[in-house]
C-alpha cells in the first residue's frame, strides 16, 4: 500500500506545531473537548464499493487513471482511505457488481486493512447478462409474479453473500416506479412491493436489519413506488422490528426538511441507516457538505439530539455510509473530502450548547435558539477532527499526505492509466 505508518508519522510531525496551536485555541473555549474528540475518534463512515471509480452522467463518463479493477483493489482503496483518516473502516458491497469469489480470502484481505463489511446492497435496477426476466417495468412491484420472484431470490442471494462476509444488513433501493401517468396502479404496486419485501424479510437472519431506501424520482420520472419517507416508514412498520427506513440525503425533492424527517424517524425507532452526499438541483451524488454544509449540520444536530434521547451509541446506533459518485474529482480525494465534511458536521453538532438550547426553546426565544445553533456552526471544529484522527493513528491532513506521497501516481503505475471500474 502506498501509505504506511512511517509516512503518516513523519507527516504528522511536520504539522504538529501548527495543529497544537489551533487545538489549544478551540480547547480553551470548550469544557468537554476531550469527550468530543473521543466520540469523533469512534465514528466511522462506510465507503460504498461503487464510489471508488470515476462516475459519470447519462451523457458520458471520463475515466481517471488507476481505478480499482476488481473487488480486491476496491478493498485496497478503502484501506488507503482508512489509513489516512481512520474514519472509513467499512466497505459496502453492491451485488452483482462485487460478488466475492472466495469469501475467506476477501475477509482476510479486509481484515489486513482493519475493514468491516457494512450493509450489502441488492441491484434490481439493471438487467444483468443472462438474466431470465427484465426489470424494465420494475422488480418487487412488477405486475408479473415471476419477475417479482426473480427479484426476491436475488435479494435472498445477496443476504447469503453478506452472511459469509459478516455484514449485518441488507439495503434495498428500488428503481420501481412509473414515468407516465396512468402507467401504474399505485395501490397495487405498493401492495406487491410489500408482499415481495415480506418474502425477503423472512429470509433475514435474526441479527440482521432490512434497510428500505426511498428516492423521490429518477430513473422513474412520474412516480417512484418507494418515493418518500412515508412510504418507506409504512413498509418498515408493516414488515416488523428488523425493518428500518434508510435516508439518502440526495433522494428528496428540493428544499425538503430532512432534519425534521430524521428527528421523527428516530423518535419512532425506525431510522436505520444514512447515505451521505449533497445536491443542488437533482443529482444525488455530489460531495457531502459541498453545497449545503449548514443543512448537513442541522441534520447532525437532530441526529445527535435524537440518538441521545434514545440512548443510542452514535458510532454504532445507525448505519453510516457515503453514497456518491464523482465526475470530475479523483474519487479518493473526493471521499476524503466527504468524510471530513461529515466529521465536521458531527463535531459541530457535538459542540451545540444543548442545555441552553432547550431553555431557549421552552421560552420561545427564537433569536437565542438561532444564536446557539449558529455559534456551533461557526466554530472552527477542524482541529478537533484532526486531533481525533491523530490519536486514532491517521494523518493530520489526509488530502495533503495523499498528494505529497503521490498515491494516485503509484496506483496508476500498478493498475494502468485507463482502467474501467465496475459499477456506476
Ligand atoms: C441509488 C441509491 C442506492 C445506490 C445506487 C447505486 O441512487 O442511492 O443507495 O445503491 O444509487
Ligand atoms: Mn443511496
Ligand atoms: Mn442515490
The tens digit of pLDDT for each residue in 64-91 reads 899 999 999 999 999 999 999 999 999 9
Residue 280, pLDDT score = 93
pLDDT tens, position by position, 88-109? 999 999 999 999 999 999 999 9
Determine the Cα–Cα distance for residues 22 and 223; give it in Å rounded to an integer: 50
Report in angstroms the alpha-carbon separations of 37 from 42, 223, 264, 335, 389: 9, 44, 28, 21, 9
Cα(215) to centroid(ligand 3), Å: 7
DSSP type of residue 49: G
User: Which atom in ligand 1 lies closest to the alpha carbon of residue 424?
Assistant: 6
Mutation pick for ligand 1 pocket among 215, 216, 273 (CB with most ligand atoms within 8 Å) = 215
Query: pLDDT tier at 342 (50, 70, 90 boundaries)?
Result: very high
Residue 313, pLDDT score = 98
Average pLDDT, the chain: 96
Exposure of 199 in the CB half-sphere (CA atoms within 13 A): 18
Cα(395) to centroid(ligand 1), Å: 30
What residue owns the CA closest to ligand 1's atom 7? 284
Residue 422, pLDDT score = 55
Who contacts 307 (Cβ-Cβ below 8 Å, separation ≥6)?
266, 313, 314, 317, 318
Among 217, 193, 199, 195, residue whose Cα is nearest residue 139: 193
Residue 423, pLDDT score = 55
Determine the Cα–Cα distance for residues 313 and 288; give it in Å rounded to an integer: 22
What residue owns the CA closest to ligand 1's atom 3? 173
Q: Mean pLDDT throughout 332-359?
A: 98
Is the distance from CB of 386 to CB of 394 less than 8 angstroms? no
* Contact residues of ligand 1, CB 6 A cut-off: 50, 94, 121, 173, 213, 215, 248, 275, 284, 323, 424
Helix 145-165 / helix 103-112 crossing angle, nearest 10 deg: 50
Starting at the edge strand found earlier in the chain, the sheet holding 116-117 runs 47-48, 90-92, 116-117
DSSP type of residue 271: E
- Is the pLDDT assigned to residue 298 strictly greater than 60? yes
Query: pLDDT tier at 61 (50, 70, 90 boundaries)?
Result: confident
User: Which atom in ligand 1 lies closest to the alpha carbon of residue 213?
Assistant: 9
Cα(374) to centroid(ligand 3), Å: 29
User: Which atom in ligand 1 lies closest to the alpha carbon of residue 248?
Assistant: 8
What residue owns the CA closest to ligand 1's atom 2? 173
Who contacts 93 (Cβ-Cβ below 8 Å, separation ≥6)?
49, 71, 100, 117, 120, 121, 161, 162, 165, 167
User: Which atom in ligand 1 lies closest to the alpha carbon of residue 325?
Assistant: 6
Q: What pTM value is reported for the model? A: 0.97
pLDDT tens, position by position, 369-392? 999 999 999 999 999 999 999 999
Exposure of 215 in the CB half-sphere (CA atoms within 13 A): 22
Helix, strand and coil in the chain, % to nearest 5: 50, 10, 40
Cα(45) to centroid(ligand 2), Å: 14
Is the distance from CB of 174 to CB of 225 less than 8 angstroms? yes
Residue 42, pLDDT score = 98
**Nearest ligand to the C-alpha of residue 250?**
3
Mutation pick for ligand 1 pocket among 123, 173, 177 (CB with most ligand atoms within 8 Å) = 173
Residue % of the chain over a pLDDT of 70: 99
Amino acid at each position: 500500500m502506498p501509505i504506511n505508518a512511517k509516512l503518516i508519522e513523519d507527516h504528522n510531525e511536520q504539522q504538529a506545531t501548527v495543529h497544537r496551536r489551533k487545538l489549544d485555541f478551540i480547547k480553551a473555549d470548550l469544557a468537554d473537548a476531550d469527550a468530543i474528540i473521543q466520540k469523533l475518534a469512534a465514528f466511522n463512515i462506510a465507503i460504498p464499493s461503487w464510489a471508488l471509480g470515476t462516475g459519470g452522467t447519462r451523457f458520458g463518463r471520463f475515466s481517471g487513471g488507476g481505478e480499482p479493477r476488481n473487488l480486491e483493489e476496491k478493498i485496497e482503496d478503502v484501506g488507503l482511505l482508512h489509513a489516512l483518516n481512520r474514519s472509513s473502516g467499512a466497505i459496502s458491497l453492491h451485488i452483482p457488481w462485487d460478488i466475492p469469489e472466495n469469501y475467506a480470502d476477501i475477509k482476510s484481505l479486509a481484515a489486513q486493512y482493519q475493514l468491516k463489511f457494512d450493509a450489502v446492497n441488492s441491484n434490481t435496477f439493471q438487467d444483468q447478462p443472462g438474466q431470465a426476466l427484465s426489470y424494465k417495468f420494475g422488480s418487487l412491484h412488477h405486475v408479473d409474479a415471476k419477475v417479482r420472484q426473480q427479484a426476491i431470490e436475488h435479494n435472498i442471494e445477496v443476504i447469503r453473500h453478506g452472511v459469509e462476509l459478516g455484514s449485518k444488513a441488507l439495503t434495498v433501493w428500488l428503481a420501481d416506479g412509473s414515468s407516465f401517468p396512468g402507467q401504474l396502479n399505485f395501490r397495487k404496486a405498493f401492495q406487491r412491493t410489500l408482499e415481495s419485501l415480506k418474502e425477503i424479510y423472512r429470509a433475514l437472519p435474526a441479527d440482521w436489519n432490512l434497510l428500505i431506501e426511498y428516492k423521490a424520482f429518477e430513473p422513474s420520472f412520474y412516480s417512484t413506488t418507494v418515493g418518500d419517507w412515508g412510504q418507506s416508514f409504512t413498509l418498515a412498520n408493516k414488515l416488523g422490528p428488523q425493518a428500518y427506513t434508510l435516508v439518502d440525503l440526495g433522494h428528496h425533492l428540493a428544499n425538503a426538511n430532512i432534519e425534521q424527517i430524521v428527528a421523527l424517524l428516530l423518535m419512532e425507532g425506525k431510522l436505520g441507516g444514512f447515505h451521505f452526499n449533497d445536491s443542488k438541483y437533482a443529482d444525488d451524488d455530489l460531495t457531502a457538505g459541498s453545497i449545503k454544509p449548514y443543512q448537513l449540520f442541522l441534520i447532525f444536530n437532530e441526529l445527535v439530539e435524537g440518538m441521545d434521547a434514545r440512548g443510542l451509541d452514535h458510532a454504532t446506533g445507525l448505519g453510516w455510509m457515503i453514497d456518491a459518485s464523482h465526475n470530475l474529482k479523483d474519487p479518493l480525494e473526493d471521499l476524503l473530502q466527504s468524510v471530513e465534511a461529515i466529521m465536521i458536521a458531527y463535531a459541530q453538532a457535538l459542540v451545540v450548547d444543548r442545555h441552553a438550547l432547550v431553555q431557549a426553546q421552552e421560552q420561545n426565544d427564537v433569536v437565542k435558539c438561532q444564536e446557539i445553533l449558529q455559534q456551533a456552526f461557526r466554530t472552527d471544529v477542524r482541529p478537533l477532527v484532526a486531533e481525533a484522527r491523530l490519536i486514532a493513528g491517521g494523518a493530520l491532513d489526509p488530502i495533503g499526505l495523499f498528494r505529497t506521497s503521490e498515491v494516485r501516481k503509484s496506483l496508476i503505475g500498478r493498475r494502468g492509466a485507463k482502467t474501467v471500474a465496475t459499477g456506476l
